[in-house]
Amino acid sequence: MTIQNNPQQGLLLVFTGNGKGKTTAALGMAFRALGHGQRVCVIQFIKGDWKYGELHTARQFEDQLDFHVMGRGFTWQSDDLDKDRDAAHKAWDFAVRTIESGQYDLVILDELTYLPHYGILAEKEILELIRHRPSSMNIVITGRHASPELIEVADLVTEMREIKHPYTNGTKARKGVEF
């Protein structure tokens, strides 16, 4: 699916790996697109209702940026996996409608890779939607465990690899750094 010399053709970017910074990189793409007057939609599949700095900043761009936090904070230690699956399916249905609408220049599907990894969504559905998106739309997908198939169809893949993190030494998450 690699695109060559067609500036109107949308790209698929994947930020994956075990290191921190995948969502941050995607949001950097969002702010770059906003700086060029483009319409952006961020759909977060896992993050729950906690408050973090990006949400406060996003409100300043309400005319160009739609930001949807649709998860329940799903982790392998969830208190209700059925509710997590239901929220993930609702977020996916919303993502399908959003992409098919064609009203955005950039759509960020934050933490989407977890859905096929945990068996919540068949990856073929993701790949099918990507293949049939509006031709000029850029899509960013983030999350650990990007599959070989997703990597193959992507135009850009960056793997975040943790080398060192203050959390391993007992440092708690900090405003402005982790949230």
pLDDT in tens, 42-86: 999 987 666 677 778 888 888 999 999 998 776 656 677 788 889
Both tokens of residue 35? 């700086």
End-to-end CA distance of the chain: 34
Residue 36 confidence (pLDDT): 96
Both tokens of residue 37? 């007057």
Domain positions in the chain are: 12-161
Task: Looking at the chain, list the stretches that DSSP marks H as alpha helix, in order from N- to C-terminal side.
Answer: 22-35, 53-58, 81-101, 114-117, 123-131, 148-153
Residue 54 confidence (pLDDT): 78
Between CA 112 and CA 13 the distance in angstroms is 12
Mean pLDDT of the chain: 90
Domain covering 12-161 assigned CATH 3.40.50.300 in the classification = yes
**Residues recognised as catalytic:** 18, 20, 22-24, 32, 74, 76, 111
